[in-house]
Amino acid sequence: MQHAVKSVKNFIWHFVKKQKGGFIFTQVFALALALDATLWPYVIKVIIETIEGFQGPREEIWPVISHVIILGLILWFSLDIAFWINGLFKTKVYPRFEAAIRMFMYDYVNSHSYSFFINNFTGTIANKVADMPRSCGSIVDMAITTFIPTFVALIISIIFFSFISPVFALILGGWVIIHIISCYFFLRKCTRYSTIHSESRSRLLGRIVDTITNNLNVRLFSRNTYEYQYTLEFQEDERKKYAETLWHIEKMRLILALICFSITGVLMIWYEVYSYRKGIIDIAEFIFILNTTFQITSITWMAGIMLPDFFREVGIARQALSIINSPVEIEDLPNAEELKVDRGEIKFNNVTFKYHHNENLFENKSVTILPGQRVGLVGVSGSGKTTFAHLILRHYELEGGEILIDGQDIRNVTQESLRRQIAMIPQEPMLFHRSLKENIRYGDITASDEQVYRAAKIANCHEFIMSLPQGYDTIAGERGSKLSGGQRQRISIARAILKNAPIIILDEATSALDSITEKQIQSSLAQVTYNRTTIIIAHRLSTLTDVDRIIVFKKGDIVEDGSHKELFKKRGEYYKLWEMQNDGFLPKELIDE
């Protein structure tokens, strides 16, 4: 499906079409409700007519009415069976329908750019993915089992009435038309309110998940009461919007009920009595019309009871649809080719970049990292080192200029091939809530156990993993929370080693390690990164003494570029950074940044 789905209706239709046959059968058997509401009054009418027409003694009535009663019983039984078959179809159709929507949503969410995840609450996104299938399922179910059968029952009743007297059909038909027009009028208003409510609910859930994710901070600062109050504000907003939505739905229901009462209640019954008095209808028809009117108003009323739920689900689905309707920011070109890396040269040509609505971080930046070069990126916090790495991975689009890898513009190649050729260890490595072995193997899912162990040995984590009771089968915890920071870093180093990519980016990859372990890993990493283009971002400058080149960042600018020796001699920014680390004192001008 193309993105930018205009409405929930189109979205649902797309998935209903996939199981056309199943849905048609579900709908056909659900129409038992329409028959249930309309045929019973007819059966009663026939029974009255038969009794009325019978002239003999009452004891002999049975043979005369038995066939109608038996037919009635068969109808009863058949409708029960039809309801059951409807349920049976549901067991097949609905789970598949919801699963298809869930997987579609999940897949679509994952195709969004990195910045989408940075700019949206994880909780909100997860909720939308979870809400969409459930809401669509409820909407379809309400339509199939209630709204459509109610409508069909109305049509059947109009047909029945037209046989008795066109005036009855006209009254009922008139009511149906006014009812539908009013529903349509209210529909847009109620949907708007329920969407506003849903947005508020989504914000609230996002906040709740944010607080739960940050529960350590809440504890460390004893902010339970504060967080409660903070969440309460969002809860208040949600409550108000929910109440407002319900109020509008109830207003609509009241108006619909008044229309129903005045047309079908007052007008219909008045005309019925009038027709009876004038001899236009007999007693059987009188009871039939009365019965049908009650049945019809009662199932319409039942359908009305569902309206708050219906609108809530439509609102939720509309909200969730925003995931689909927010375009994927970074997409492969239609003719994108695979990136081929044989040398590993990275070239920034007049690159200009800014984060949304911010000032330019990089302006007309040009720099070339030569094939196989080991480059250290340094600079104070916030100077743009991590951003530089993200740009190579095309996590963000440039404002201007281009980035070339071995002469290929990274915009012209597939994102998958680009990211396959680069192994990055992010500044805050995260692990899956899976076993350590699975986490390491993520670098190369085809790797054998032996290869996993070898990578773990290079990354200096084999020993600690083996000392755990469950060894490689130990579960890492959510985001790797059951491991220490240094252990998590080593697992992600092992994972990156296994990826065996020609370009390697280490963003503070060893910052959480003690200096002995760091030294050990560095010598192993030196072998792994040998002859591969390697970018090492590090605050601890002592880890960069053996790189080929050091690039010093300052507010997105490259202020120095050269070997450790050259820059050290120059006594500029790099030297200042060194000094700062040696004394433990920050020069004043750096503090001001």
Ligand X SMILES: Nc1ncnc2c1ncn2[C@@H]1O[C@H](COP(=O)(O)OP(=O)(O)OP(=O)(O)O)[C@@H](O)[C@H]1O
Query: Binding residues for ligand X, per CB under 6 A?
Result: 118, 355, 358, 361, 379, 381-387, 427
The residue among 378 and 447 lying less far from ligand X, judged by its C-beta, is 378
Q: How far is the CB of 573 from ligand X (least distance, A)?
A: 13
Q: How far is the CB of 378 from ligand X (least distance, A)?
A: 9
The C-alpha atoms of residue 280 and residue 272 are separated, in whole angstroms, by 9
Among ligand X, Mg ion, none, the one that 127 touches (CB under a kind-dependent 5 to 8 A) is none
The C-alpha atoms of residue 491 and residue 29 are separated, in whole angstroms, by 56
The residue among 42 and 388 lying less far from ligand X, judged by its C-beta, is 388
Give, rounded to a whole angstrom, the gap between the first and last alpha carbons of the chain: 48
The answer to whether residues 528 and 458 touch, using CB atoms and an 8 Å cutoff, is yes
The C-alpha atoms of residue 385 and residue 372 are separated, in whole angstroms, by 20
- Unique residue bearing structure tokens 């009241």: 254
387 touches Mg ion (CB under 5 A) = no
The C-alpha atoms of residue 37 and residue 392 are separated, in whole angstroms, by 66
The residue among 287 and 389 lying less far from ligand X, judged by its C-beta, is 389
The residue among 341 and 505 lying less far from Mg ion, judged by its C-beta, is 505
Taking CB under 5 A as the binding criterion, the range among 77-85, 216-224, 382-390, 432-440 that sits at the site for Mg ion is 382-390
492 touches Mg ion (CB under 5 A) = no
- Unique residue bearing structure tokens 């390491």: 440
The residue among 394 and 437 lying less far from ligand X, judged by its C-beta, is 394
The C-alpha atoms of residue 97 and residue 85 are separated, in whole angstroms, by 18
**CA quadruple 212, 213, 216, 220: dihedral, nearest 10:** -70
Residue nearest to Mg ion (CB): 386
What is the three-class DSSP state of 379? Answer: strand
Q: CA of 540: how far to CAs of 285, 300, 306, 476, 509, in Å? A: 94, 73, 63, 27, 11
Q: How far is the CB of 379 from Mg ion (least distance, A)?
A: 9
The residue among 353 and 453 lying less far from Mg ion, judged by its C-beta, is 353
Q: How far is the CB of 387 from ligand X (least distance, A)?
A: 3
Among ligand X, Mg ion, none, the one that 358 touches (CB under a kind-dependent 5 to 8 A) is ligand X
> For 390-519, where are the E strands, in sequence order?
400-405, 408-409, 422-425, 503-507
Q: How far is the CB of 396 from ligand X (least distance, A)?
A: 8
Q: How far is the CB of 385 from Mg ion (least distance, A)?
A: 5
The residue among 196 and 580 lying less far from Mg ion, judged by its C-beta, is 580
Q: In what order do the strands lie in the sheet with 346-354?
A: 360-369, 346-354, 400-405, 408-409
Q: How far is the CB of 535 from Mg ion (least distance, A)?
A: 12
User: By CB under 5 A, what part of segment 412-431 binds Mg ion?
Assistant: 427
The candidate with the shortest Cα–Cα distance to 208, out of 222, 218, 194, 195, is 218
Q: Which residues of 238-247 are buried (b: 16+ CB within 10 A; e: fewer)?
A: beebbeebbe
Using CB atoms within 10 A of its CB, is residue 500 exposed (0-12), middle (13-18) or buried (19+)? middle
Q: How far is the CB of 365 from ligand X (least distance, A)?
A: 13
The answer to whether residues 363 and 553 touch, using CB atoms and an 8 Å cutoff, is no
386 touches Mg ion (CB under 5 A) = yes
The answer to whether residues 77 and 328 touch, using CB atoms and an 8 Å cutoff, is no
The residue among 427 and 520 lying less far from ligand X, judged by its C-beta, is 427
Among Mg ion, ligand X, none, the one that 382 touches (CB under a kind-dependent 5 to 8 A) is ligand X
Q: How far is the CB of 441 from ligand X (least distance, A)?
A: 28
The C-alpha atoms of residue 511 and residue 518 are separated, in whole angstroms, by 8
The residue among 345 and 508 lying less far from Mg ion, judged by its C-beta, is 508
Distance from the Cα of residue 9 to its chain's centroid: 18
Q: How far is the CB of 426 from ligand X (least distance, A)?
A: 10
The residue among 97 and 388 lying less far from ligand X, judged by its C-beta, is 388
Q: Which residues bind Mg ion (CB under 5 A)?
A: 386, 427
